[in-house]
């Protein structure tokens, strides 16, 4: 990747700039918990965005996307927003830095990445974090704190890309640390690193490559259920609810709301259980919790789909330690924790069985937990 970016940069802008990288992310456990004030548990992965950057002494950004073979040139004022969607991520990051009183001047850049687009590994957060971190280093003496860099990425999505996302993806891409996952408390925004060194295991995402668009905004309906139950309990979010509290009002709420809230409460407990298990190096418990999350997402929260349940069933049959839907649901990936010796047979089986039923193979993305946004070491 380095060589092709160097070459593209030199051809377009002549000479060389400084290389920066930022990763995509996965989430081990903690799904649909962010808007309930709960915990998420992401880690940065070894799939990256890499950008070569050099100030150009003008007030314009000149950007070349190697993967899309597309070029954009734009100024730094609000009215200068580029039309290409990929360039809006870079423009948005520049604007959000400026809005916070930071400094951005014109620069040249060529960039490329190997985070699969739209697979649920957050290639967009990788792109934002890569540029936010680079701009912090090049123009601001690294005076912008790391949490603010994550917020700059999140605001970019909100204000320039039309995606109303939470903070997890950008947070993970900025703060990622090799061999560690991060438990982020979505209420206090405090976080803690936990060791994640699954020796003898592989972590692999299996992408169903399906996305079911549902008409009646299931996401908003899930949120509304959670909010109703919290209100009925007299608490701000389900973060403060327990199963005893929920059972005490069971007859006053709909069965649907009951099961939605049950999932959220149990998921919060599961994240905490996984943290304890990781400290103890107990990956069997981690895996069991992943299956429980899948079951809860499928049966209680009802955000799974046939294809994802099938991937989960195959994993179970193959003896995979842990497997669950990753992300919002209704399609996308499962995340799987697989013993080394079962990895090859599992991948072969899942490809074959899935294709036999749905006509196409799932995509396979092995991932290794890695460091967050940074300057590239081997310039
Ligand atoms: P994801 O779940 O991967 O974040 P998004 O739809 O949020 O998917 O973001 C994908 C968008 O990010 C792409 O449409 C493109 O605009 C931009 N992007 C991601 N990776 C690249 C890349 N390697 N080169 C150019 N643009 C990219
Ligand atoms: Mg995205």
Is ligand 1 within 6 A of the CB of residue 57? no
- Give the tokens for residue 322: 């842990």
Three-state DSSP at 107 gives strand
Find the catalytic residue in 169, 207, 300, 371. Answer: 169
* CA 85 centroid distance within chain: 19
Ligand 1: distance of its center to the CA of 230 in Å? Answer: 35
Burial class (CB in 10 A: 0-12, 13-18, 19+), 295: middle
Is ligand 1 within 6 A of the CB of residue 186? no
Distance between CA 306 and CA 331 in Å, rounded? Answer: 9
Q: Which of 77, 84, 89, 83 is nearest to 157 (CA)?
A: 89
CB contact set of 214 (below 8 Å; sequence gap of 6+): 330
Burial class (CB in 10 A: 0-12, 13-18, 19+), 62: middle
For residue 355, the model assigns a pLDDT of 98
What is the tens place of the pLDDT at every residue in 62-97? Answer: 999 999 999 999 999 999 999 999 999 999 999 999
124, 157, 160, 367: residue to mutate for ligand 1 pocket, most atoms within 8 A of CB? 124
**Of 297 and 120, more confident:** 297
Is ligand 1 within 6 A of the CB of residue 293? no
User: Which numbered atom of ligand 1 lies nearest the CA of 122?
Assistant: 4
pLDDT band at 314 (very low <50, low <70, confident <90, very high): very high
Residues 243, 249 contacting (CB under 8 angstroms): no
Spell out the alpha helix ranges (H) of the chain: 2-13, 85-99, 123-139, 146-160, 168-175, 218-233, 243-248, 255-279, 283-295, 306-317, 340-358
- Give the tokens for residue 3: 């060589």
pLDDT band at 258 (very low <50, low <70, confident <90, very high): very high
Residue owning the nearest CA to atom 7 of ligand 1: 124
Helix (H) or strand (E) holding 191: strand 191-195
For residue 294, the model assigns a pLDDT of 98
For residue 215, the model assigns a pLDDT of 67
Q: Supply the pTM of this predicted model.
A: 0.94
User: Which numbered atom of ligand 1 lies nearest the CA of 84?
Assistant: 16
Distance between CA 132 and CA 139 in Å, rounded? Answer: 10
Find the mean pLDDT for residues 205-217: 86
What is the tens place of the pLDDT at every residue in 175-194? Answer: 999 999 999 999 999 999 99
Is ligand 1 within 6 A of the CB of residue 85? yes
Find the mean pLDDT for residues 352-358: 98
Is ligand 1 within 6 A of the CB of residue 86? yes
Percentage of the chain beyond pLDDT 70 is 99
pLDDT band at 22 (very low <50, low <70, confident <90, very high): very high
For residue 55, the model assigns a pLDDT of 98
Q: Which of 367, 276, 265 is nearest to 48 (CA)?
A: 367
Q: How far is CA 275 from CA 23, 29, 143, 272, in A?
A: 23, 10, 32, 5
What is the tens place of the pLDDT at every residue in 319-340? Answer: 999 999 998 889 999 999 999 9
Is ligand 1 within 6 A of the CB of residue 122? yes
Residue owning the nearest CA to atom 27 of ligand 1: 86
What is the tens place of the pLDDT at every residue in 91-135? Answer: 999 999 999 999 999 999 999 999 999 888 999 999 999 999 999
Distance between CA 158 and CA 146 in Å, rounded? Answer: 19
86, 89, 120, 157: residue to mutate for ligand 1 pocket, most atoms within 8 A of CB? 86
CB contact set of 182 (below 8 Å; sequence gap of 6+): 41, 42, 43, 171, 172, 175, 176, 191, 192, 193, 194
Ligand 1: distance of its center to the CA of 117 in Å? Answer: 5
Find the mean pLDDT for residues 295-310: 97
Distance between CA 325 and CA 331 in Å, rounded? Answer: 8
Query: Following CA atoms 82, 86, 87, 88 in sequence, which dihedral angle do they give, to the nearest 10 degrees?
Result: 60
Res 154 pLDDT > 90: yes
83, 115, 117: residue to mutate for ligand 1 pocket, most atoms within 8 A of CB? 117
Is ligand 1 within 6 A of the CB of residue 67? yes
Whether 169 is catalytic is yes
Ligand 1: distance of its center to the CA of 128 in Å? Answer: 10
Ligand 1: distance of its center to the CA of 276 in Å? Answer: 35
Residue owning the nearest CA to atom 15 of ligand 1: 86
């Amino acid at each position: 990747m380095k060589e092709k970016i160097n070459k593209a940069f030199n051809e377009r802008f002549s000479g060389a700039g400084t290389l920066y990288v930022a990763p995509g992310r996965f989430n081990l456990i903690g799904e649909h918990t962010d808007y309930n004030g709960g915990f998420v548990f992401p880690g940065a992965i070894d799939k990256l965005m890499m950008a070569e950057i050099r100030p150009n002494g003008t007030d314009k950004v000149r950007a070349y996307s190697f993967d899309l073979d597309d070029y954009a040139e734009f100024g730094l004022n609000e009215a200068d927003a580029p039309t290409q969607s990929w360039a809006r991520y870079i423009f948005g990051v520049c604007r959000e830095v400026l809005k916070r009183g930071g400094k951005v001047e014109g620069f040249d850049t060529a960039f490329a990445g190997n985070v699969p687009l739209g697979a649920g590994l957050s290639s967009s957060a990788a792109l934002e974090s890569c540029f936010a971190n680079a701009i912090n280093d090049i123009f601001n003496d690294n005076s912008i704190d790391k949490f603010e860099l994550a917020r700059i990425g999140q605001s970019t999505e909100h204000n320039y890309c039309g995606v109303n996302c939470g903070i997890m993806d950008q947070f993970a891409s900025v703060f990622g640390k090799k061999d560690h996952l991060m438990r982020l408390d979505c209420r206090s925004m405090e976080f803690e690193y936990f060791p994640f060194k699954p020796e003898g295991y592989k972590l692999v995402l299996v992408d169903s490559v399906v996305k079911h668009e549902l008409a009646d905004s299931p996401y908003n309906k899930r949120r509304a259920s959670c909010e109703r139950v919290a209100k009925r309990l007299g608490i701000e979010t389900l973060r403060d609810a327990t199963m005893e509290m929920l059972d005490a009002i069971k007859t006053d709420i709909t069965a649907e709301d009951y099961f939605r809230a049950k999932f959220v409460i149990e998921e919060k407990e599961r994240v905490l259980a996984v943290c304890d298990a990781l400290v103890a190096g107990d990956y069997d418990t981690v895996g069991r919790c992943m299956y429980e999350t899948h079951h809860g997402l499928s049966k209680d929260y009802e955000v799974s789909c046939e294809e994802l349940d099938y991937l989960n069933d195959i994993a179970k049959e193959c003896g995979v330690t842990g497997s669950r839907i990753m992300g919002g649901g209704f399609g996308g990936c499962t995340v799987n924790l697989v013993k080394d010796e079962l990895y090859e047979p599992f991948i072969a089986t899942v490809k074959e069985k899935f294709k036999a039923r749905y006509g196409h193979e799932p995509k396979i993305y092995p991932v290794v937990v890695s460091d967050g946004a940074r300057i590239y070491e081997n310039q």
